[in-house]
Structure 1
Amino acid sequence: MNATDRTPADLLRSALAEDPARPLVTFYDDATGERVELSVATFANWVAKTANLLQDDLGAEPGDRLALLLPAHWQTAVWLLACSSVGVLVDVGGSAADADLVVSGPDTLDAALACSGERVALALRPLGGRFPQPPAGFVDYAVEVPSQGDRFAPYAPVDPQAPALAVGGTELTGAEVVRRALADAAELGVGAGARLLSARSYETWEGLSAGLFAPLAAGGSVVLCRHIEQLAEGGLEKRVESERVTATVR
């Protein structure tokens, strides 16, 4: 982070400038055995493509509200930063009926149909795979995102003081997300080069912060674990060692 970083998207730009090759998000799904590691550069590329999809194909503008109906997942982290890049308010677990557009995983498609605007569906399959049969009424993210541009520029500047994130009944501006993430990083003992393992859900600020924002703000990285309760005995200790984890939250 540098002194001019005032939004989560700013934090990612600074991380990209400082060390694009270092790992940023390592994702495990212990129900499927999936492991994905994304460097800062790879993660930023996914964010740029998703932001281009959001701005150009879906017509999203600063101030629009996006209901994000996804679990803790590396693709969810991508959408959080893409929304910040465009200036869209991302409502985690929010009402699809009250949103301008919705992004849904395979388990929340029925709820997502309540959105009268654009609807995007993610299969959440290993390697970002597409749906075998695209769900009716939805854009399949895995089909549309690969062809998007690798660089992103917003049509309008993003206001750091505008609402950027809604979670658990609280709305935060982009600047507030950055400030709270930095404070959390200090409390969790996460600094530059640290590796934080988080098994928390993305349904709360604490989960979002540990699972993305705090490590990003501090120059560290996250090992994001879904379905960690399915790990065999001793599996967590082995993961902590193999991933060089410096702090763990559950």
Structure 2
Amino acid sequence: MSTPAEVLATLQRTDSAAPRITCYDDLPGPTAGERVELSARVLGNWVSKAANALQEEWDIEPGSVVHLAMRPHWRLAYWAWAIWSVGAVLDLDGEGSPDLVVTDDPARLPQDGPAVLVTRAALARSAGVPLPDGVMDEAADLSTHGDLFAAWAEPQGDDIALRVAGQETSYEDLGATSTPTAKGARVQLVDPSVEALLRTALTVWSAQGSLVVHLGPTDEQTLARRADAEGVTA
């Protein structure tokens, strides 16, 4: 199994313009109705900016722990891949004292310690709320980081890549328990958990496929119409 960074690099080399994640937001709130689609090239740009920020701002590297306290979303995908690109531990549990917290919920910002506040809206240019010292306003500041990324160090196969529900998965084993998918499949996910979104993305992208993700409650008629329009195959 390739690392997540290698999977994304392969997509960028083979067909950088093809859509890799299409996200429909059906959750109540300011982003309701958004449809955002990212190609491998655009996804890679976001990943590079976030990974550069992790290294340059907080010295995140193999062995560092980043608590990703976000709901499923296309922005979650690039932050996850950025964490894996620097070789760190992507922690979904939030136990202990992580080196950094990345969240889309101001209520989940730590009382102290570095953090990133992610604004979900596609065109957001700031969080729109005052932030404590030590918290990056992603919408305002992430764009200042570069579109090209080189990791300071590569993770070893037995380094921890994912921590969720008290279980740890190494980089070598990441994705090994995911259900195989056909090459080039266009896979639909309906209101997935964070873990399901990340594991499915890794499996599908490893097979040169793409995702159509529906966030929140979506009726069956709408799902069927979108699946037809998006060319969903699985």
How many aligned positions are there?
229
| DSSP 3-state at the match of 2:12 | helix
CA distance in 2 between counterparts of 1:244 and 1:14 reads: 22
| DSSP 3-state at the match of 1:37 | strand
1:77 aligned partner: 77
Counting helix residues as a fraction of each chain, which structure ranks higher?
A: 1
1:238 offset after TM fit, Å? 0.4
1:168 offset after TM fit, Å? 2.1
1:222 offset after TM fit, Å? 0.6
Map Cα deviations across residues 15-44 of structure 1 (whole Å, 9 max, x no partner): 111111111111110131001000011101
CA distance in 1 between counterparts of 2:176 and 2:228 reads: 30
CA distance in 2 between counterparts of 1:76 and 1:33 reads: 18
Seq. identity, %: 33
CA distance in 1 between counterparts of 2:59 and 2:182 reads: 37
The runs of 5 or more residues in structure 1 that have no matched partner are: none
**Matched AA of 1:237:** A
- Specify which of 199, 207, 227 is matched with residue 209 of structure 1: 199
Asked whether the 8 Å contact 2:125–2:139 carries over to 1, the reply is: yes
- Specify which of 191, 213, 217 is matched with residue 182 of structure 2: 191
CA distance in 1 between counterparts of 2:108 and 2:41 reads: 34
1:145 offset after TM fit, Å? 1.0
**Matched AA of 1:13:** A
| DSSP 3-state at the match of 1:158 | coil
Asked whether the 8 Å contact 1:48–1:152 carries over to 2, the reply is: yes
The runs of 5 or more residues in structure 2 that have no matched partner are: none
CA distance in 1 between counterparts of 2:187 and 2:22 reads: 10
Root-mean-square deviation (CA), in Å?
A: 1.8
CA distance in 2 between counterparts of 1:117 and 1:194 reads: 41
CA distance in 1 between counterparts of 2:221 and 2:147 reads: 40
Q: TM-score, normalised by structure 2?
A: 0.91
2:229 aligned partner: 242
| DSSP 3-state at the match of 2:172 | helix
| DSSP 3-state at the match of 2:20 | strand
1:133 offset after TM fit, Å? 2.2
